[in-house]
Amino acid sequence: MSDEKIKLIWDLRSIDAKEVAEHHVKHVYEYIESKGLENTTAACEEIFPHYYIAYILTTKKHMIQIRDDLKPHRGEYV
């Protein structure tokens, strides 16, 4: 059960959404390293022009800690 993958997502909408998403991912990676989280990665993705998402992909076991610390806008099972 703890092997289930969960994507925690931040929605970013603006002219600078791409740059903001890329910058956000850098900080998410810093968080991953500081907490020593295994099987966890981060990335950003274009949805539409001026609408990007930044996300962290993790296992269910880390979801509560990450959610409480980083406060993503939403989450989904992968």
Entry pTM = 0.93
The region of weakest confidence among 3-7, 25-29, 44-48, 71-75 is 3-7
Work out how many domains the chain is built from and give that number: 1
pLDDT digits (tens, 9 = 90+) for 29-74: 999 999 999 999 999 999 999 999 999 999 999 999 999 999 999 9
Are the C-beta atoms of residues 75 and 11 closer than 8 Å to each other? no
- Give the Cα separation of 49 and 14 in Å (integer): 9
Provide the domain limits for residue 72. 5-77
CATH of the domain at 47: 3.30.70
Both tokens of 42, joined, read 């981060």
